Amino acid sequence: MSVFKDMKAISQGMWITWKHLLRKPVTISYPEVKRTPPPRYRARIVLTRDPEGGERCVACYLCSAACPVDCISLQAAERDDGRRYAAWFRINFSRCIFCGLCAEACPTMAIQMTPDYELCTRDIMSLLYEKEDLLVDGCGNDPDYNFYRHSGIGLVNPRGGNQDENPPVDVRGLAP
Amino acid sequence: MPGLIIDDIPVEVPAGTTVIEAARSVGIWIPHFCYHPALGSVGACRLCAVKLLDGPVKGIQMSCMLPVQEGMVVSTTDAEAQAMRRNVIEWLMINHPHDCPVCDEGGECTLQDYTIAGGHGLRRYDGKKRTYHNQELGPHIQHEMNRCIHCYRCVRFYQEQAGGTDFGVMGSGARVYFGRFKEGALDSPFSGNLVDVCPTGVFTDKTSRFRARYWDYDMAPSLCPGCSLGCNITPVARYRELLKIKARRNDGVNGWFICDRGRFGGREVNDPARPRAPRVDGVDVPWDQALDTFVLRLGELLATHGAGSLALVGSPRLPLEGQLLLARLAEIVSPGNVCWFTTAGEARGVLAALETLPPEGVASLADVRGAGCVVILGVDLLAEAPMMALAVRQAWRNGAKVYVMGISEWTFGSFLGISVTPVSSLDEVPPAERVKPVLIGNSRDLPSARVDEKLWGGARVALLQSGPNAVGAALLSVDHDGASLEELLASGRIKGVVAVEADIPGSWLAGIPFVAALDWRQTETVAVAQLLLPTTSWLEMDGTFINYEGRAQRFLKVMNPGIPLRGLDPTLHPPRIHRSVPPGGDLRPAWRLLAHLVERLGGRSPESPFTGRWERLRDLHPEGEGIMVYTHGSDSSEGGG
């Protein structure tokens, strides 16, 4: 009775086809309609600032070391007050794979991923983002975090002035 | 020779060796901070704990403080020893400022490595951290005392090894502080080694502060071109710029350390004014045109004035490859008119130095360190070859008597922290004191270095030379009857000079119609040359130097040639056009240029510069102690002297 078997198979297939024809589509007509990605979506990378408005990036090179496609390059330098910063910081978004390893490696929460995924352009050279393009006014995640308030080298707070520090010792003191 | 067992491996070492050294000799690495092969043990850090399972001593012991004894059974992997090491790391981290992202040591930090290795990731201690004030220690060394783990390596190097008196340890208990009594630049000419010996980031190189990380460094085994000692170094470069220089171990030469002059000098390679493009009559031209002009003008000169009118000049700072190719070029264009020295005195001194060495031979730096009596013949070692002075101090520490002739004994002695006896002649040194004697002089003033064989039997002599490859230049001068440019010019028939990395005074070249310079430095010679062919510096090529004792050592290319990124025209970086060489990077080593010219002028250039008796230098490895190419006496022909 293979004829009945075939008819059953065809009608089952047609049933599924018709069912889906009448369904509401899962796709949207981008760019007229835009989806809001979840807040932890990994797209355009930014450099954030600490709560006092200073650059969080200390140019430690961990992001460029973590980057599996070598799209981050930078040069560290020293400000007059001894603060370490990036003299230039460059992300080549034509190479970036948005894996988020740089943000994961960043010890100062400076480099963060944003949900802004609309980076397409016709000019590939414009995908080379310089520090001015990357730096934003804001803290992003961890809005209260300032690296220098936790690392004890006395740059934002005076030496020995962090919450978990004793004041500098008097090396010439005679007390036990 | 006591025998012991370390991790099931039987080891036999001389009596007096510590367990950590015995383990090292069979390739077992016991973590440590305070122990250093050159500085010895103090048992300050407590990290090198091992467990002795059986034998005369039992239980947890510090392997650096424990001399080996017959029958010891040592375990480095015992759970108790591992727990001890893990806890030591955790307590060393209690006061650490956790500032690795802004610390220059990050990436090359022993404390960082062992913290990871010990598995200490989460801070359990919630007390407060101890802090210190820093000191301003001059232009070379950056001080960040909060990172200190109190291993005492710095003060042991500075006071014991280098004899400095202005830096030490202060305070007591938990307030122990390493610094100067008052802020100020460190006096010792070896202060840069604090950066190398410090296992964490207390002392970092200020000249390369915040410039790069270890994993981005361009590094290769190299040699210091500062003087004729041939100290082994590891230069560190990034983005075509020399950032800093680190010492590289070579027990036959510099040991573990280098001097500040070698460490913080050598920055001419970063000079933006360095010659980077071929120049004809003051105008930058493409390479083809420059080489064509060279061949053309050379031909004109030889046709007009004859074969004897051209002088080819090398120098003691030219690597051996270039010196050898210069001799080959001379054979083709101007036989007999080749020299490797500029002034007659320099040539005489270096040549005579080779001849007058006593049969026992030359004193290496290791020989000086092991000497029983040192006589310094009118050389200001601290100015001319500081590492030799450091070797003299080690000899003094081992009980050697030090005599000086013709220099201020006060300056020399006080800078090194040693006691020296001034003498006015060699005879004044008591014969009883002449045990394993070493005489240190300079080839420049040779007569004073001449010694009486009978009285000074068995003496070794160290004669400083005028450049990192002066002995190479001298050996070639002997082979090719090279004299000096001064003598050639005095003959009056020289109408053209080809200067290969040679420093010829501009006034000497005033009347010469054809001057060509191959150099990487902006020298006086380069300034007056009508034709300039730029070459690579010693950091941008492989090469060979022969040091003052006749030891050939190889150095490798550290970085690519080109204008450093810092100081480069901002329009050129990031590069918007694709090019095969970086800006200013179209340079070749001098010997390659010379080989090319040999071919252009009708000769056949060899595949390798090392032919004939130099062949054994072809596969010379940069690691290791080098090859002696010059030995005095019967085997000199074999050695190539």
Of A65, A90, A176, the CB nearest to B215: A65
User: Distances in Å between the alpha carbon of B198 and those of B141, B387, B519?
Assistant: 12, 20, 38
Q: How far apart are CA A176 and CA A161, in angstroms?
A: 23
- ipTM of model: 0.87
- Chain B residue set in contact with A, beta carbons under 8 Å: 97-102, 106-107, 128-134, 144, 146, 170-175, 177, 179, 209-213, 215-216, 239, 565-566, 574, 576
Nearest CA to CA, how far is A128 from chain B (Å)?
9
Q: Under an 8 A CB cutoff, do A170 and B175 touch?
A: yes
**B130 to chain A: closest CA residue:** A166
Domains B3-92 and B279-341+471-592 share a fold: no
DSSP 8-state symbol, A141: S
| pLDDT tens figures, A80-128 | 999 999 999 999 999 999 999 999 999 999 999 999 999 999 998 899 9
Minimum distance, in Å, between the CA of residue A40 and any CA atom of chain B: 25
pLDDT digits 0-9 by tens, B350-396: 877 777 665 567 889 999 999 999 999 888 899 999 999 999 999 99
Query: In Å, how far is B133's CA from the nearest CA of chain A?
Result: 6
What is the reported pLDDT for B634?
Answer: 36
Q: Using a CB-CB distance cutoff of 8 angstroms, which residues of chain B are in contact with residue A172? A: 170-171
The per-residue DSSP string of B136-164 comes to ---SSEEE-GGG-----HHHIIIIIIS--
End-to-end CA distance of chain B: 41
B576 with A65: Cβ contact below 8 A: no
Nearest beta carbon to residue B131 from set A78, A128, A168: A168
* Residue-level pLDDT at B638: 37
Q: Which chain B residues touch A166 with a CB distance below 8 Å?
A: 128-131
What would the two tokens of residue B638 be? Answer: 């074999």
Return the pLDDT at B635. 40
Cβ within 8 Å, pair A153-B171: no
Per-chain mean pLDDT for chain A: 93
Mind telling me how many Å the CA of B476 is from chain A's nearest CA?
Answer: 46
Amino acid at B289: Q
B619 Cβ neighbours under 8 A, 6+ residues apart:
none
- Check CB contact under 8 Å for B131 and A165: yes
Chain A residues in contact with B574 by the CB 8 A cut-off are 90, 128
User: Distance (Å, rounded) from C-alpha B263 to C-alpha B192?
Assistant: 7
Min Cα–Cα distance to chain B from A120, Å: 20
CA pseudo-torsion sign A98, A99, A104, A107: negative
**What is the pTM for the complete model shown?**
0.91
Which pLDDT score is estimated for B526?
A: 95
Query: Which residues of chain A lie closer than 8 angstroms to B212, CB-CB?
Result: 61, 76
The CATH number assigned to the domain with range B279-341+471-592 reads: 3.40.50.740
Cβ density class A100-113: b for 16+ within 10 Å, e for less: bbbbebbbbbbbbb
Which residues have a Cβ under 8 Å from the Cβ of B635 and sit 6 or more positions away?
Answer: none
The pLDDT of residue B168 is 95
User: How many CB atoms within 10 Å of residue A99?
Assistant: 14
- In the CATH scheme, what is the code of domain B360-465? 3.40.50
Compute chain B's Rg from CA coordinates: 27
**Nearest CA of chain B to the CA of A54: how many Å?**
15
Task: Give the residue extent of every domain in chain B.
Answer: 3-92, 103-270, 279-341+471-592, 360-465
Domains contained in chain A, CATH given? 45-157 (3.30.70.3270)
User: Which residue of chain A is at minimal alpha-carbon distance from B570?
Assistant: A88
Q: Which residue has the higher pLDDT, B636 or A165?
A: A165
Write out residues in chain B with pLDDT < 50, as ranges.
448, 633-641
Peptide bond into B574 cis (omega under 30): yes
A129 CB neighbours in chain B (<8 A) are none
Chain B residues whose CB is inside 8 A of the A147 CB are: 101
Distance CA B480, CA B337 (A): 9
Residues B243 and B233: their CA atoms lie apart, in Å, by: 13
CB B132 within 8 A of CB B177: yes
> Given B128, B146, B210, which is nearest A76 (Cβ)?
B210
Q: How far is A41 from chain B (nearest CA, A)?
A: 26
- Residue B339: which of B487, B495, B519, B490 has the closest Cα? B487
Number of other CB atoms surrounding residue A66 within 10 Å:
17
**pLDDT score recorded for residue B605:** 80
Question: CATH assignment of B3-92?
Answer: 3.10.20.740
**Yes or no, beta carbons of A152 and B131 under 8 Å apart:** yes
